[in-house]
Structure 1
Amino acid sequence: MFNYTIEGLLLNVFFVAFPLIFYQFLLNKKLEEKPALRNALHYSLFGVSILLCMFFPITIQPGLQFDFRILPFIMASFYSNRTVSVALVATLVGVRFALGGEGAYLNLISSSLALLCITIAEKKYHTLTLANKMAVSAAISFFCKLVGIGCNYLFDPSYVSAHAVTFYAVQSVFMALMIYIIESIRKSFQLSEELIESEKMKVVSVISASVAHEIRNPLTTVRGFIQLLTQSQVDQEKKLQYGKLCLDELDRAQQIINDYLSLAKPHPEQSETLNVGDEIYYVSKVLTSYANLSGVEIVAEFDVDLYVTGDRSKFRQSIINIAKNGIEAMEAKGGVLTITAKRHKRYVVLRICDNGNGMTHAQISRLGSPYFSNKEKGTGLGTMVSFNIIKGMMGHINVQSELGQGTEFQIMFPSVS
């Protein structure tokens, strides 16, 4: 008679399921480039499962012990490679002989037979349906152990195998369940990979369409004016006017291209310590003439000895983009653009404020998103690039705005000595 203990059964079920908790990490594509590490991880996970099943069997009879050690071996053999299979069967047989008893020889027979069956079936295994995979794995676990226990009659002709057959039938059910779980994990991982690839293709298609649209507009304008310039009846004043418009449109196309290129590599490239006061002073001087054309005054205020870490050109680019947006928001009525920098605890807080048109909460929530802009000819890429640069410098952005009252960008950078 078999004296089962529910604790032993549950322990073996846990030991068999244990490798599946970490199995998704073994599917990582980076491990495919390191086969030795991948094999070592497979061997470790499923080898530990086999050893634990043998050290904590479900039931023990004279010279024999019954556990689920064959299940992790079959799973590892079908879902890893021949190297892992051979290493695991050697471990399984060696440890079982170390434990002693006639069962060690029966285990040698059943394990060797299982390895042979898996070698024959593995070529077509992954082309089967889920139900057939479950059936094949369950059949191998049942058949091989049944042959093994049948050989026990060589040691004990009076042995009654009815209870062993029942045990192996239950074991085969758990084998099918484990295959179902591992296939579900693999399917989930595959769907996740396909979703990521689909999202990448979607982004590529959107960017391609946007590039084509944004570049086509200024090029169409340039083409039209060049056609006009080729007409002999165009006077000199018109030619100068058309030439200037062509140059303006080409500059606009170049700016769009630069924004797209910045998206590809927005994070700091050459990290250095930046004096925020010096950078604000530089930005204010660069934008002064542009602000004067719009009737906007720039006021810059900053504390001394404010330092952050980042790429100087990228930092200036991000601040100039945000400040230019503020100036353009005040073009209709003029106003004051205020750029301030203060120290707050461990942070440098940079504020860029304007009293322009302002934004709604819905517009604020979309800031930094691709292709969203409040400007008639804007692409939204300048703001997106600026946000990415700031985040790359470990900065945080908070935007407050009210329609008709203006907008305030509050940017916090970690302060450095």
Structure 2
Amino acid sequence: MEAMMTGMINNIFFIIFPIILYQMFATAGQRNFFVSHRITMTILFSISIILCMVFPYQFLTEDYIFDLRQVPMIVGALYGGPLVSAVLFIVSAVGRIAIGGDGMYIAILNQLLVAAGVPFLGPLYRKVNRWWKAALVFIISIVSLLFNMFAGYFFFGDPIHNLIGIWLMLMLNQGGIIILTALLIEHLQKQEYLYNSLMRHEKMETVSHFAAAVSHELRNPLQSVKGFVQLLQEYEYPRAKQLEFQQTILEEIKVAEDLIDDYLIYAKPVYGEMKRIEVEPELSHVIKIMTPYANARNVEIFVQGSDAASPILGDSQKLHQALVNIIRNGIEAMTDGGKLQVELETSAHTVCVHIQDEGVGMTKEQVKRLGEPYFSNKSKGTGLGLMVTYSILNQMGGDITVESEVGKGTKFTLEFPKLPNG
């Protein structure tokens, strides 16, 4: 009994494991295993058939050896169609001929009937629900075993009444396992369908967020331009006033252009503009620019530099933009003022910029969503600044890590690969 259970478990493992293995290593979003990947399915089920035949097990009596090769044959024929079924039949027939022994011709004939007839049930099988599928594979399995039983009686004179208990147990054994296999496949397919649906939903949601962000951000400068143009059309202003309005119009148009450039940065690589730059002077320049803004909000910036060289491959203008976005967010997070710590750290292989504020902080869920389109902790924010910042860092081969605690502040670490000195 122990040997029988060990052999049965081995056969079940030979059937189930290839299916699980494929799902583990398949590319996300492209795992429509039992529809689009028939070659892979054929190879895996062929291996299952061979292993089941090489490692059979005795069933209830030492005179009766059994294996589960029909499970991958039937399942492969239903999901893969005639071509897959034909290949699996050849593999099974060659293996059975190599094993030889009594009942070889009956086994091959049985396999031929399965390979020829089961694929025609495929269209019906794919239309019914999972429980009808389980019932159908169980019935096919039973019919196949009944064929073997009656063929043994007619060709070899095997007394059916003496072996009916064994055959019933075989039917329940193989039928139960093939139901388990079919339900597992259906479960994996359902999970894949849900995964692909979620991916499509997220893509559509991203597009809608982009549209909302563009609409929200562009409306303000366009409304200003529209208002000044209407004023110039309706009233006669002195030349000096007209020039003032025109200058304001140009500034608002520049705001709209910068906004569009920000969105293009998110989608458009900047590799053509990459060159060797030193982070320390670039960081000093940004601190100089942001200091008046910090002072106006009662925020004091403390800088801790590094004497070591800090060369990286990047674009100075884009680096300025990324640093400004994070420093501005840190300043704005401290509504009652505070200290903003900026530290440049260099090592043998990396250059890191640490930016830490004493602001309101964020929850772990909010930290995970940083960089998503249209996600912002600000009441009127669109998340565009950090979205662009994450894209810039990615294009420059860098990385961003965020540590934050509600009520205690946030620390951003920008890490870049360091170029060799020289």
2:8 aligned partner? 9
> Please, what TM-score do these two structures have when normalized by structure 2?
0.80
Mapped partners of 1:407, 1:173: distance in 2: 56
Report SS of the residue matched to 1:120: helix
> Please, what TM-score do these two structures have when normalized by structure 1?
0.80
User: Matches of residues 74-85 of structure 1 in structure 2 within 5 Å?
Assistant: 74-85=74-85
Equivalent pair of 2:354/2:411 in contact (CA under 8 Å)? yes
Deviation (angstroms), 1:343? 2.2
Mapped partners of 1:97, 1:236: distance in 2: 101
- The alpha-carbon distance between structure 1 residues 307 and 376, as it changes in their structure 2 partners (threshold 3 A), is same
2:42 aligned partner? 43
Report SS of the residue matched to 1:362: coil
- The alpha-carbon distance between structure 1 residues 289 and 359, as it changes in their structure 2 partners (threshold 3 A), is closer
Query: Which residue, 304, 310, 313 being the options, matches 1:306?
Result: 310
Mapped partners of 2:118, 2:76: distance in 1: 11
Deviation (angstroms), 1:169? 3.5
- The alpha-carbon distance between structure 1 residues 31 and 270, as it changes in their structure 2 partners (threshold 3 A), is farther
1:128 aligned partner? 128
1:396 aligned partner? 400
Amino acid at match of 1:343: T
Write the deviation string for residues 252-289 of structure 1: whole angstroms up to 9, x where unpaired. Answer: 2222222222222468566554332454466568x499
- The alpha-carbon distance between structure 1 residues 159 and 269, as it changes in their structure 2 partners (threshold 3 A), is farther
- The alpha-carbon distance between structure 1 residues 409 and 59, as it changes in their structure 2 partners (threshold 3 A), is closer
Equivalent pair of 2:362/2:406 in contact (CA under 8 Å)? no
Deviation (angstroms), 1:398? 4.7
Q: Please say if 1:96 is aligned against 2:99.
A: no
Equivalent pair of 1:291/1:297 in contact (CA under 8 Å)? no
Deviation (angstroms), 1:22? 2.3
Mapped partners of 2:112, 2:28: distance in 1: 31
Deviation (angstroms), 1:133? 1.2
Count of residues paired in the alignment: 408
Percentage of matched positions with identical amino acids: 32
- The alpha-carbon distance between structure 1 residues 297 and 131, as it changes in their structure 2 partners (threshold 3 A), is closer
Deviation (angstroms), 1:198? 1.1
Q: Please say if 1:56 is aligned against 2:60.
A: no
Unpaired runs of 5+ residues, structure 2, are none
2:209 aligned partner? 206
Deviation (angstroms), 1:290? 8.4
Q: Please say if 1:226 is aligned against 2:225.
A: no
* CA RMSD between the two structures: 4.2
Mapped partners of 1:83, 1:64: distance in 2: 32
2:319 aligned partner? 315
Write the deviation string for residues 73-102 of structure 1: whole angstroms up to 9, x where unpaired. Answer: 111222234332211110101111111112
Mapped partners of 1:337, 1:105: distance in 2: 83
Mapped partners of 1:352, 1:26: distance in 2: 39
- The alpha-carbon distance between structure 1 residues 132 and 251, as it changes in their structure 2 partners (threshold 3 A), is same
- The alpha-carbon distance between structure 1 residues 47 and 369, as it changes in their structure 2 partners (threshold 3 A), is closer
Report SS of the residue matched to 2:234: coil
2:167 aligned partner? 164
2:118 aligned partner? 118
Deviation (angstroms), 1:226? 0.8
Deviation (angstroms), 1:39? 3.8
Amino acid at match of 2:119: T
Unpaired runs of 5+ residues, structure 1, are none
Deviation (angstroms), 1:15? 2.1
Write the deviation string for residues 105-152 of structure 1: whole angstroms up to 9, x where unpaired. Answer: 111111111112212211222111212211111111111221123212
Equivalent pair of 1:281/1:300 in contact (CA under 8 Å)? no
Mapped partners of 1:317, 1:204: distance in 2: 24
Deviation (angstroms), 1:238? 3.1
Query: Which residue, 249, 252, 258 being the options, matches 1:249?
Result: 252
Amino acid at match of 2:140: I
Mapped partners of 2:386, 2:43: distance in 1: 49
Q: Please say if 1:179 is aligned against 2:182.
A: yes
